[in-house]
Amino acid sequence: MSLPSHALRRAVGEIDIYLFDQILRGRFDGLSAVLDAGCGAGRNLVWFLANGYDVHAIDGDPAAVEATRALFARLAPGLPPANVQRGALDQLPWPDASMDAVLSSAVLHFASDDQQFQRMLRELWRVLRPGGLLFARLASSTGIERALPRLTGRVRLPDGSDRYVVSEAVLLTWTDALEGELLDPIKATNVQGLRSMTTWTMRKRGALR
C-alpha cells in the first residue's frame, strides 16, 4: 500500500525542510535558473527538476556529481549534463549574475578558515542576479556559545565534528557588506547542545533581469 508520506517523498525527495518552507511560501515562484552549490547527491533538487527549473549543480565529490547527473537524466532529461559540474565553491564556473537563486545547504561550514569562507560566500553572491535569492544553512555558534572556544571560525563542536561556525552578528555584518536584504530573521536550531544550524535567507538588492 502506498502511504501519503511516500507520495510526498516522490514529489520533493529528501529535501531540507527549511528549503521546503521557502518553496511553500512562494519564494521560488517566477524564478528559473537555480544553482545548488554543494549539491551532494541532489537531495534538494527533486522538486526543482520535476517542475521545469533550469537547474545547475556543483560538488567536489565525483560520486556525488555522477549521482546528481543520474537524477537529472531521470527527472529532467532535457537539461544538459554540463549543468552539473565537479568543482569548488570558491571558484564557480558560471558567469556573473547568471542565477536567479543559489542554494547552499550544509556546505559553507566546511570552510577551512576565514579566507576560504569569504571566497566561497563571495562566489555564491557573484553568480546571483540582482533580485535573486540566496538560501544558506550552516553551522553556527548560536545557543552553544559556552561550549565553544570562540564564536566564529573553525572549531570542534560538542558532537565531535570540526566545522567553521558563524555567529548571528557575523551573518548580519555580511548581509550589510554584500548589500543584501534579509527575507526572514536569522533562525538557529540548537540540537541538544551538540551543534547549532542556522538558516540565512536573503535577496540581492536590485531587480531580476
Q: Where are the domains of the chain?
A: 4-54+88-111+119-129+140-204
H or E element, residue 46: helix 46-50
Cell of 135: 538560501
Record the cell numbers describing residue 180, joined without a space: 543584501
Query: Does CATH place domain 4-54+88-111+119-129+140-204 in 3.40.50?
Result: yes
Query: What is the model's pLDDT at position 114?
Result: 96
pLDDT at residue number 80: 95
The pLDDT of residue 32 is 97
Q: Which residues of the chain have pLDDT under 70?
A: 1, 207-209
CA distance 40 to 52: 20
Parallel, antiparallel, or unpaired for β 195-204 and 128-139? antiparallel
Give the model confidence (pLDDT) of 19-69 as tens digits: 999 999 999 999 999 999 999 999 999 999 999 999 999 999 999 999 999
The pLDDT assigned to 1 comes to 61
Q: What DSSP character marks residue 95?
A: P
Distance CA 46, CA 24 (A): 15
